[in-house]
Amino acid sequence: MRILLIALLLGSVFFHTDDSIADTSVVGIPGTTFEQHQITDKSGRQLTYYLSHGAAPAPLLLMIQGSGCGSVMHVQGNGSYSTLFDLLPFGKEGQFTVMAVEKPYSGDSSGQRPGSAESCSAQFNHDFTADSWLLALQTSVRDARKLEWIAKGRTLVVGLSEGAVMATLLAGHDATITDVVSIGGSGTTQLFDFIVHAYRMCFDASPCLADVEEKVRAINADPANSTSFAWGHPYKRWSSFFHVDPGEELLRSNARVYMAFGTADQSVPALSQEVAVAKLMAAGRDLTVRRVPDANHSLTDPEAPNINDLDKELRLALQWFWKHP
């Protein structure tokens, strides 16, 4: 069923007070402008984040990856690469102090279905929820802000797919987030996304909706289960993310918002994102919407995908940031 595609991209959520612990190590990433920082959060997890170091202080740009357990940064010999698109180029260009955080217990994702957690470690799947990932992001951002080469005043968060959901959640729990860019993110609970897919992808929606309901009942009956899976992810993951409403989080935040999505997105339906658009517009919030005609989840042409199209869209979002001080 095509609704499975959403699982490739992407409990209740708590606000965490000051929980950063002293930096334990800082290491340069070969061939890049980035440093690797390692700290420990209040739950005892070792966190790893990467931060570019430019010639002059620059606003913080946090980029949040999509779903799955693949590492963001890979070091090979004297060179390095990132699976988070445009992370390294944006860091090298120096307009921002660019940051990315590794998901706790992430690792090698080779041989895994992209965005799925089915082959992730038991430790990752036991740990990963919306609130545990939020804690890691909050702790890392708070630690990074202590550094002198981060300009004060504005913080931009860019999230892609599941990362877009987390960008809204972080903004809703951190009043210092001034700008949010959501790329291909849900506009309301991801459960709504599955319901929309049932109507769009099934000739007769009834059995597809019944399948969604059956899975959700199983998740609700065992919400802490990290070994049973639905749509490519553990029940524990879904039970936490189903409680996150990005539109409501953005309303709770102080952030200006830029939303970009493809009108032909088959992974996160455009109608889901329009729910957040409607909420923000009705509330009179500072919102910019970029609907990319006939584009897919990556904001590219489904018939002739070109990753340069995604680069173009991300750069349009950065231009929006600078045009609206």
Helix (H, G, I), strand (E, B) or coil at 185: coil
| Of 146, 141, 147, 149, the residue nearest 176 (C-alpha) | 141
Give me the CATH number covering residue 301.
3.40.50.1820
Helix (H, G, I), strand (E, B) or coil at 233: strand
What integer pLDDT is reported at residue 287 of this predicted model? Answer: 98
**Lowest-confidence pick of 1-5, 11-15, 183-187, 276-280:** 11-15
The tokens for 140 are 């890392």
**In what side-by-side order are the strands of the sheet with 25-28?**
25-28, 34-40, 46-52, 97-101, 58-64, 150-160, 179-183, 256-262, 287-292
Q: Domain limits at 302?
A: 2-323
24, amino acid identity = T
- Per the model's pLDDT, the better-predicted residue between 52 and 111 turns out to be 52
Q: What tens digit of pLDDT does each residue of 12-43 get? A: 333 334 555 555 688 999 999 999 999 999 99
174-189 core/surface letters (b: 16 or more CB in 10 A; e: else): beebbbbbbbbbbbbb
Q: What is the DSSP letter of 43?
A: T
Q: What tens digit of pLDDT does each residue of 91-149 get? A: 999 999 999 999 999 987 666 677 899 999 999 999 999 999 999 999 999 999 999 99
Read off φ and ψ for residue 205, nearest 5 degrees.
-70, -25
The band of 79, judged by pLDDT with boundaries at 50, 70 and 90, is confident
What integer pLDDT is reported at residue 55 of this predicted model? Answer: 85
The band of 7, judged by pLDDT with boundaries at 50, 70 and 90, is very low
Contact yes or no for 34/200 (Cβ under 8 A) = no
Contact yes or no for 51/35 (Cβ under 8 A) = yes
| pLDDT of 77 strictly over 90 | no
Residue 244 to residue 12: CA distance in whole angstroms: 8
- Per the model's pLDDT, the better-predicted residue between 185 and 6 turns out to be 185
DSSP bridge pairs for 290? 260
Residue 273 to residue 267: CA distance in whole angstroms: 12
What integer pLDDT is reported at residue 151 of this predicted model? Answer: 94
Q: % helix / strand / coil in the chain, to the nearest 5?
A: 35, 20, 40
What integer pLDDT is reported at residue 22 of this predicted model? Answer: 55
| Of 253, 15, 295, the residue nearest 139 (C-alpha) | 15
Taking CA atoms, 77 is separated from 74, 84, 101, 147, 265, in Å, by 10, 20, 22, 28, 38
Q: What is the mean pLDDT of residues 286-314?
A: 96
| pLDDT of 225 strictly over 90 | yes
What integer pLDDT is reported at residue 11 of this predicted model? Answer: 33
How many domains in the chain?
A: 1
What's this model's pTM, rounded to 2 decimal places? Answer: 0.91
The band of 10, judged by pLDDT with boundaries at 50, 70 and 90, is very low
Read off φ and ψ for residue 65, nearest 5 degrees.
-75, 170
The band of 2, judged by pLDDT with boundaries at 50, 70 and 90, is very low
What integer pLDDT is reported at residue 54 of this predicted model? Answer: 85
